Amino acid sequence: MSSLLEKIMDAHGGAAWDEIRTISAMRSFGGGLWDLKQVPGIAEHGRFSVDLKREWSSLHNFGDADVRTDFAPGRVAIIRGDGEVVAESLNPRATFVGHEVTTPWTPLQLAYFTGYAMWTYNTEPQSFRLPGVTVEEIGPWTENGETWDRLQVTYPDSIETHSRVQTLYADSEGVLRRRDYEVDIMGGSPAVEYMTDQTEVSGVVLPRERKIYVRDENGAAMPEPLLVSISISDITVE
């Protein structure tokens, strides 16, 4: 484990992550992405759950109070409360071939995107220790008068996420504040995500607020438009 990853793990709860299997919370999505992709009013509100031991997530209230998603690598499904599979894809990432930023999504594609995104966001930094994930310290970054340390995280092919290589920024205490990535399923669109309002739940520390913007050629976040905002509340761990 790199010294920076160790510092990040300690700042986010350290060994407490090893004592839990799932994180669940209420979600509220905002920003312009949902209208841009022509899928408003489907995924924005409801409960979600993620698994810390494997890549899996589920969003409840997916277009209807009795409908949820079921995401894992190589499969995504939309399922009713009685177990009926409304829609399913066994190779969902392949359905995004040729997509650009403005290409509309189907509800199943939305389920895939929100499934891997919410897993990526809410399992870190524990997920950086999963088999096949590698990290590299790539030096400091100064932003708004603060100096943050950067950790480059490379995910294996077995983990589905925005892009194979992402950069995480930690403040002087080791708390994660920013992520850079490219959204491969949106034509490689460069993005910046900021994490704020960190809170401790059963010993682990999670941000309750995230805001995501387009990243310019200098590595800065463009102030407009706000692509996605994510607020979580009523967090539980098991």
The whole model's pTM is what?
A: 0.97
pLDDT, tens only, 5-14: 999 999 999 9
* Whether the predicted pLDDT of 1 surpasses 80: no
Write down the mean pLDDT value for the chain: 97
Q: Is there a contact between 222 and 216 (Cβ–Cβ < 8 Å)?
A: yes
* Whole-angstrom distance, CA of residue 128 vs CA of residue 123: 9
Q: What percent of the chain has pLDDT over 90?
A: 99
**Amino acid symbol at 179:** R
> What dihedral angle (degrees, nearest 10) is formed by the CA atoms of 215, 217, 219, 221?
-30
Question: What are the structure tokens assigned to 171, written together?
Answer: 């403040």
Mean pLDDT of 121-137: 98
Q: In angstroms, what CA-CA distances link 20 with 25, 143, 158?
A: 14, 34, 22
Look at residue 2 in the predicted model and tell me its pLDDT: 86
Residue ranges of domains in the chain, CATH in brackets: 3-232 (2.50.20)
pLDDT, tens only, 180-237: 999 999 999 999 999 999 999 999 999 999 999 999 999 999 999 999 999 999 999 9
Mean pLDDT of 97-108: 97
pLDDT, tens only, 15-60: 999 999 999 999 999 999 999 999 999 999 999 999 999 999 999 9
Phi, psi values for residue 114, rounded to 5°: -70, -30
